[in-house]
Amino acid sequence: MHRLDDELRSLQASIVRYAMERIALQPPPLDGPKSADELRALYGANVTEDGIGGEEALRRFVEGYAPATLSSDHPRFLAFVPVAPTKAAVLFDMIVSASSISGTSWLEGAGAVYLENEALRWLADLIGFPETAGGTFLSGGSLANLSGLHAARQAAKERLGGVRPDRYRILASTEAHSSIRTAADVMDLEVVEVEVNDPGRLRGEDLVRTWAKLTDAERNSVVAVVATAGTTNAGLVDALDEVADFAEVNGLWMHVDAAYGGAALASHLRERFRGIERAGSVVIDPHKWLFAPFDAAAIVYRDPNVARRALTQEAAYLDEINRAPDWNPSSYGYHLSRRVRGLPFWFSLATHGTRRYREAIEASITLAHESAHEIERRPYLELAIEPELSVVVFRRLGWDAEAYERWSRQALVDGVGFVLPTAYRGEKLLRFCFVNPLTTLDDVRAILDTLAIDPRPW
């Protein structure tokens, strides 16, 4: 299994051929899910004592299983936050696969970690962080948010000395990403919900109003205020400068979840993020709007030393790496063994340069505004929120929740597109999220056209 014999050489050729074909597909098929029973019926067991051979396993994957997975890079995959890697990033991800580099420590992965740090530095510059900032790439925004909040609690613990509150708490708006609530649950933090006024953007006054209701003991227990720069649901950026003012006045760590929206720091919308440079930690996911493949989320800390104290794992077999003054990615996130998942992003950035990134991001912002216009000029549609970044939320007049869902299912089956309903202030609506530079206004028009038909036929 570990030596490249003739059989494996032949398999290698088949696999490379398929990978190259998949990368060249323009567009890839959208495809769609099948049930577990349907998939089971296809071939029966693949994992057996004797094996089915590489060519057969590949054939089953290509013919049977792959068509039951959506292509997240399809230009009409507009649900959730899509992934739209550059070809260079995808190709280099294959080198990461081929190379068995451990990104755990400098000792093991110096050359690769150095390059990841170069990419992180670009993010830190976009944020406006000082030269001393730093962080790491993790498997996703969930883990990156957790790591940032853990560093924040470490800072609070150091401030509080030995005094332990009844609960540690964070302040987060009702529009914060789901991972913030789950992170808090995992960390046993209480979330003090901050109600926001229309249209879902956290403002300083919301924090002040919430803060006024807390007791002194509760205030002392707050370890961070969480701001969102690009809400997943509506693509809105909190009033970061006001949040930073509030955090500063009250001595709190400001954590900014810019997992989706942070890419727009490279666009003409940078001004809307004013105040982000005053955060303690910022999360940006290159696999979202910075064209890296799954999965690469970045966390950048203003003061990485706090994170290192919070997250460095201690054990006899780790002494050698912990004792060295080197940059160990394992010390800046909750992880140890680690794929160098930031490298494909670095390679694409190095290959194409940052200007082309800016242009590609601008293209999605422009498309969001053009789509909003398309929606407004159609009598059966109505914009629900004025798009700020690249999310567009709109309603189909006269439709109930079920009609939206039937339409969405049928649109996927017909290959029209992958668009999911969402809910905004209790109302079922439709939502586009644009991060793929290959998505065109014609794609959007084609999808919008199918919404003209009354829901009953669906």
Q: To the nearest whole angstrom, how small is the minimum distance from the Cβ of residue 95 to a second copy?
A: 5
Residues 22 and 17: their CA atoms lie apart, in Å, by: 9
Contact window for a second copy (CB under 8 A) among 126-134, 204-212, 275-283, 352-360: 352-360
Q: Where are the beta strands (DSSP E) in 184-279?
A: 190-194, 222-228, 253-257
Q: Which residues contact 412 (CB under 8 A, 6 or more apart)?
A: 30, 32, 418
> In the numeric block, which tokens belong to residue 295?
């999965």
Q: CA 353, 121, 255: angle at the middle one, nearest 5?
A: 125
Could you say whether residue 163 binds a second copy (CB under 8 A)? Answer: no
Could you say whether residue 458 binds a second copy (CB under 8 A)? Answer: no
* CB closer to a second copy, 10 vs 197: 10
* CB closer to a second copy, 139 vs 220: 139
* Residues 373 to 402 in contact with a second copy, rule: CB under 8 A: none
Could you say whether residue 131 binds a second copy (CB under 8 A)? Answer: no
Size of the site for a second copy (CB under 8 A): 157
**Residue pair 212/204 in contact by the 8 Å Cβ criterion:** no
* CB closer to a second copy, 352 vs 378: 352
Could you say whether residue 173 binds a second copy (CB under 8 A)? Answer: no
Contact window for a second copy (CB under 8 A) among 33-41, 267-275, 379-387, 450-458: 33-41
- DSSP state, residue 294: S
> In the numeric block, which tokens belong to residue 277?
């440079």
Residues 213 and 64: their CA atoms lie apart, in Å, by: 57
Could you say whether residue 316 binds a second copy (CB under 8 A)? Answer: yes
Q: Are strands 281-284 and 253-257 parallel, antiparallel or unpaired?
A: parallel
Q: To the nearest whole angstrom, how small is the minimum distance from the Cβ of residue 379 to a second copy?
A: 26
Q: Where are the alpha helices (DSSP H) in 378-430?
A: 401-413
Could you say whether residue 95 binds a second copy (CB under 8 A)? Answer: yes
Q: To the nearest whole angstrom, how small is the minimum distance from the Cβ of residue 281 to a second copy?
A: 15
Residues 134 and 154: their CA atoms lie apart, in Å, by: 17
Could you say whether residue 24 binds a second copy (CB under 8 A)? Answer: yes
Contact window for a second copy (CB under 8 A) among 187-195, 245-253, 364-372, 449-457: 187-195
| Among positions 30, 136, 173, 179, the unique one binding a second copy when judged by CB under 8 A | 179
Chain-centre distance for alpha carbon 410 = 27
Pick from 436, 441, 456, 453: which is nearest to 381 by CA? 453
* CB closer to a second copy, 111 vs 251: 111
* Residues 38 to 77 in contact with a second copy, rule: CB under 8 A: 39-40, 45-54, 57-58, 60-61, 64-73
**Residue pair 313/330 in contact by the 8 Å Cβ criterion:** yes
Pick from 188, 80, 145: which is nearest to 408 by CA? 80
Could you say whether residue 12 binds a second copy (CB under 8 A)? Answer: yes
* Residues 429 to 448 in contact with a second copy, rule: CB under 8 A: 431, 436-438
Could you say whether residue 254 binds a second copy (CB under 8 A)? Answer: no
Q: To the nearest whole angstrom, how small is the minimum distance from the Cβ of residue 339 to a second copy?
A: 4
Could you say whether residue 92 binds a second copy (CB under 8 A)? Answer: yes
Q: Where are the beta strands (DSSP E) in 289-384?
A: 297-301, 381-383
